[in-house]
Structure 1
Amino acid sequence: MAKKGKEARHIVKLKSEVSEHCYYTEKNKNNTKERLQLRKYDPTVRKHVIYKEASKL
């Protein structure tokens, strides 16, 4: 059996800047070293807002 390498994909939590709402997604740590910052829909305030990476799971 071959040795298993370090996992490239990690589950990250994206937290809204406006409310307590959050999304969970995966990111490839080898290709994206910096923290994610995406514009997504926030159903709490019913607008598109910036979501920033909060933590890894």
Structure 2
Amino acid sequence: MAKAVTIKVKLLSTADTGFFYVTKKNTRTMTEKMSQRKYDPVAKKHVEFKETKIK
């Protein structure tokens, strides 16, 4: 059976609030770790979110 092209990743807030988003990522086109600026409702501002593994 073939390996899946898209995987689920967790985007964890760098503000150390513990808030995270779950999104999909295409492993063939995005080989490096994902990072996005998104809204953290716990910190009440936009912060950098970095990719971590889902456990």
Same fold? TM cut 0.5: yes
Query: Which runs of no fewer than 5 residues in structure 1 stay unpaired?
Result: none
- Alignment RMSD, CA only? 1.2
Runs of at least 5 residues in structure 2 that lack an aligned partner in the other structure? none
Answer with 1 or 2: which has the greater Rg.
Answer: 1
Compute the TM-score of the two structures, normalised by the length of structure 2: 0.90
Counterpart among 1, 7, 11 of residue 8 in structure 2: 11
Aligned residues: 54
Q: Percent identity?
A: 37
Normalising to structure 1: TM-score of the pair?
0.87
1:8-38 alpha-carbon deviations (Å, 9 max, x no partner)? 0000000000011000000000000000000
